[in-house]
Each structure stands twice: as C-alpha cells, then as structure tokens.
Chains A and B, each alone.
Chain A
C-alpha cells in the first residue's frame, strides 16, 4: 500500500465523524433549531457506543447504543428548547457541559479496555485493485453509511414534500404554522435526527477510529461539525467537501508531526481549530449579499392558537 493511498484512507476515516455529525446538525438547523450541544451528544455517543460494543462484542450493537444515546440527549434539548421555549444557545451549551460529565461517568468502567475495531469491507478482486481499490472498496461500513446518509438527506430536503415543509419551518415558522404545519413536531423530529447522527458520529471514534475509549476523545469535533454547516451554507453537497477538507487538515498535521519538520507539535495540533476560524471568517465575508442561513435559525417559537 502506497503512502498516498494510506493518507487518503486516514483522511476518509478522520472525516467520517465530522460528516456524520454535521449532516445531522444540518437537518436540525434547516428546521430552524440551532443545537449547540453536538459535542455533548457526540461524547455521550462515544461512551455508550464503546460500552455497548465492549459488553456485547458487536460493533453494530455499539453503533446502535451510540445512536440511542444521541437521541436521548437530543430529547433533553428538545424538551427545553422546543417544549419550554428556552434560549437555544444556552440550552446547547448546557447539553455539552452535561454530556462531558455524563460521558466521564459512563465511560469510567471502560477506560483502558480495547475492542476489535470495525471490520473493513473486502471484495476479492475489487479491493485489491491498485491505487483506488482500498479507497473505494476497502473502507469500514461507517464511511459508506455517512456518504449514503448525505445523499438521502439531500434527496429528502430538496426532492420531497416533507423536506420542503421542514425547510419552510426553518425559514419562517409563523407562516408554516399559519399554513397548518405542526412546526414544533417537525422540529422535534429534526432535533432527534441530529441527535442520532451525533451519537453515531461519537460512536465511530471508539468503534472504528481508535479501538478504545478515552474521556474527552471527541476533542472539539462537535464544534467543528457546527462550523461545517456554516461552511457548507447549509447545503449537503458542500458539506462533503468541507468535511473531507477538514479531515485532510487533521491528517496532514499528524503526518507533518510524524515527519518531524521542526515545528512544535502543539502548533500543528492547533491547525484544525485555526483553520475553522479562518474558514468562518472568509466565508462570512464572501457572503455580504445576504445570509444563506435558515431565516428562523435559533429563534424560539411558541404557537398561538
């Protein structure tokens, strides 16, 4: 296996959790809800996902545990932000603080344990093709799932009636409500979908990326996923580009550290975070003609009868 192929493989692996979490958040935000708790949902998903896989010995059970944990976390958020009309920024922060504590409690029993990482696809012949064989036909299941998910979300948002209604809720909840659509219920489902994706993204880390759990292993990926939705202008196709770009930055700085080019490792490690800031600034500046964000993003909605 050549170096280039190895780098592409590791970039895909590093990008997948970002893509999964950002896809879920994109749907949530398109319905008009800003859930800043992605990091919290991810880290709880990571702890529960690893716990599930370690106890059952099955990666699929682990992934399902991560998804369920993410949904449960998102339901707390929904109860607050939708049910009680609480400020979404503050609620999202609370969810992240809670999630970091909870994951430490849940994961305490699993620290130091190892599992067999998620198996990679192997199609005799195809996976052994030179150059592109491993990259196209030799990934773990999560990588394919994440790409399928983005395609489904694109189809749902732009090609189905329900997707149109969801976007309407995100752009003008008052009008959507006046037309008779159940704004809060649609937003609830969107928040739960976001939670499921974030939980799965978190579970990916200990199930496939590194085969063990350490507290705080999401290391800000949830926040980078939030930035990615801005980067993508809330469009699924651009999300793929953004996620793989960020994955590439993460992997390249690791390789640069390994090559020992004389720059302190801490500076290289800070690159993904600095890149996020620079990208946010550049994109926000380029968009002087008007925002592409869902118009009702982050505003509370209390239906009047």
Chain B
C-alpha cells in the first residue's frame, strides 16, 4: 500500500473554508510540544499567549496597533502574489516609507509649520515606498532579474540607510548619543483615537485599505486582470492583458502601502525615527497574506490574529520567561500548516495498492 497525492476534479470549497482553522489548530498543538520541550506548562502558556491579551483594554488596543501595519502591508502583498509577482521586500519598503516621511518631520521640527505636515509625511512615505518597490519590479520586467532576490536585497540596504541617518545627520543633539531623531512635533504625529490611549488614526486608514482592496479585486477590471494573470497566464495573454504592466502596478501599490504603514508606525506609536522600528512586520505580513487566503477580509482577520501572537509573545516573555523567538517559530510553523492545508484544496490523498496483481483483479 502506498499513499499518493492526486489532483481533485474540482477545488474543494469545504476545505477552502476550514483550512485556515485546521492550520491554526495544528500550530497550537505543535506549540504545546514546543512549550513542553522548554519545560513550561503548555496550558498556562497558551492562556498567556492567546487569552490574556484579549481580557484587558490596553492589550486590545495594542493588538489593533500591531495589526495596522500587518494588514496594510499584507493587502498590498496579496495583490502581488495573486498576480504571481513575488515581492518579499515589504520590510525594506516599510523602512524607506518611514525614512522619507521622517525627513519632513525632521526638517520642520521646531518651526511653526501647520497641519499640512502630517498629510504630506504620509504622502511622502507612500510615494517613497512605491518608488522603492518599483526598483525590483523594473529590474524584472525590463531585464528579467528575479524580483525575489532583488526585493530582498533592498531590505538590507534600507536597514543600513535608516541606521546611517539616525546615527549621523538626523540624530537628536539632545539624545545622549542614542541613535534616534528627536520626538516629532504634534503636527507631525498621527493623532490617537482615544484620549490617552494607544489606538490611532492609522487603524482607520488600514480599514479603508481593506475596503479599497476588496473593491479593487472584486469590482474592477484591473482586479480581474490581476487574478487572471496569476491564475492563468496563457489565458491572460490571449485576453490581451499586459502582464509586465501588472507586475509594475502591483509592486507599486504594495510598496506604497508598506511605505504608508512605515511612516504611520513612526509618526504614530513610535513617535520618532530609530533602528528597530519594525519587529519584522514586512515578513510577518507575508504570513498574514497567506493565512488570509489572499482575500482582503481574510487578511484583516489574519492580521488581528498574528498581532495577538506578538502581544501574547511579549506577555509570555514577561510572565513565564518564554523566549521571544518562540513567536517567530510559531509564525513560521503556522505558515507551513497554512500552505499544507491549502494544498488539500486542490489535491487529495489516496491509498493505492502497489502490487500490480491486486490492481488488475480490481478492474
């Protein structure tokens, strides 16, 4: 007897619906094993990870704050992945957006610049992110260079550029030599929604992005083209869709959203530019995009879930001394299970007999 994979006649809609849930279930089981190996009580650890953050208002706000960049970046990435364009450098576009927007905040610091500063910063962040994402896109459509490798290399470059700026020209003179800019002026800061709270305007913008993504994919011709180019490239060619143009478009949109997320993060929760503004949002957003099945509403839910793991991970470190790296392991395992479960939408397992005699007897 042998277990083989075979293609289903039609994609299974049941599995398509429940596969993210199976994946999360399997990940939690695996996580219990990891906790047990680390010598922690799995049940107590799971409670700290997934239940405790949901029980107090501060943590709930913090989940929304963390989900904001994840969802915004993942919506853009989902467009790329649907069009079969592999932008994996969202982390770099996020950082460049943060740098470009911060430039204006640093330049207008201490002047009596008006309320135009923040909108201009957000626009700068989005434009810079889009331009930065267009580098790998142009390298791909014009020269045929792998966008996977070039977009990833640019993450390291963006990281070093940010490091240079906050240690050199933009360093706060009153900052005791810490690598950071001065705290942004109030006109250069994303306003919070609740007095004294953490929830900020960025979360509302993220919801708009989700809605816009849903409209683009479900209600417009461009969205249709994006999906066809990825799913059936030959059909797209016959339909006269310009695949190269769609690569440029999806990269530009995802870069703009990542850049916007970057400047919102810096001008919002962080308040100044410094190294380490991102705990890997650009990479975690890849997981969010896949867990959300490349669907805007799914991405919103997946983004909130992964934000929960960030907060849960921090609390588990404080309360139970569980290393922060467990969160990364968790996210990696989750992506594996999501991909594996997705495979079962198109394929199924079947036990076949390897003995030829039995096979001919069956017919």
Nearest Cβ on chain B to A108's Cβ, whole angstroms? 6
Q: Which of B53-61, B251-259, B325-333 binds A? A: B325-333
Find out whether the CB atom of B145 lies under 8 angstroms from the CB atom of A97. no
Find out whether the CB atom of A277 lies under 8 angstroms from the CB atom of B329. no
Instruction: Identify the B interface with A (CB < 8 A).
Output: 4-7, 86, 88, 135, 139, 143-146, 148-150, 152-154, 156-157, 160-161, 163-164, 167-168, 283, 286-287, 290, 323-333, 335-336, 339-340, 342-344, 346-347, 352
Find out whether the CB atom of B164 lies under 8 angstroms from the CB atom of A101. no
Nearest Cβ on chain B to A127's Cβ, whole angstroms? 37
Given known A90-B339, A101-B332, A104-B325, contact A267–B143 (CB-CB < 8 A): no
**Shortest Cβ distance from B81 into A: residue:** A90
What residues of chain A lie closer than 8 Å to B352, measured between beta carbons?
305
Q: Which of A55-63, A136-144, A278-286 binds B? A: A278-286
Find out whether the CB atom of B168 lies under 8 angstroms from the CB atom of A280. no
What residues of chain B lie closer than 8 Å to A95, measured between beta carbons?
332
Chain B interface helix/strand/loop/mixed: helix
Find out whether the CB atom of B332 lies under 8 angstroms from the CB atom of A97. yes
Q: In whole angstroms, how far apart are the Cα atoms of A224 and B343 in the complex? A: 30
The answer, yes or no, to whether A86 is at the interface (CB within 8 Å) is: yes
What residues of chain A lie closer than 8 Å to B325, measured between beta carbons?
101-102, 104-105, 108
**Shortest Cβ distance from B150 into A: residue:** A277
Find out whether the CB atom of B143 lies under 8 angstroms from the CB atom of A281. yes
With A105-B323, A230-B149, A280-B146 known, 6 other A-B pairs at CB within 8 A are A86-B342, A93-B335, A102-B329, A270-B156, A284-B145, A302-B5
The answer, yes or no, to whether A85 is at the interface (CB within 8 Å) is: yes
Instruction: Identify the A interface with B (CB < 8 A).
Output: 36, 76, 80, 83-87, 89-91, 93-95, 97-102, 104-105, 108, 219-220, 223, 226-227, 230, 264, 266-267, 269-270, 273-274, 276-277, 280-281, 283-285, 287, 291, 302-305
Nearest Cβ on chain B to A287's Cβ, whole angstroms? 7
Q: In whole angstroms, how far apart are the Cα atoms of A128 and B143 in the complex? A: 48
Find out whether the CB atom of B145 lies under 8 angstroms from the CB atom of A280. yes
Q: In whole angstroms, how far apart are the Cα atoms of A138 and B346 in the complex? A: 55
**Shortest Cβ distance from B286 into A: residue:** A93
**Shortest Cβ distance from B7 into A: residue:** A302
Find out whether the CB atom of A84 lies under 8 angstroms from the CB atom of B343. yes
What residues of chain B lie closer than 8 Å to A291, measured between beta carbons?
144
What residues of chain B lie closer than 8 Å to A273, measured between beta carbons?
153-154, 156-157
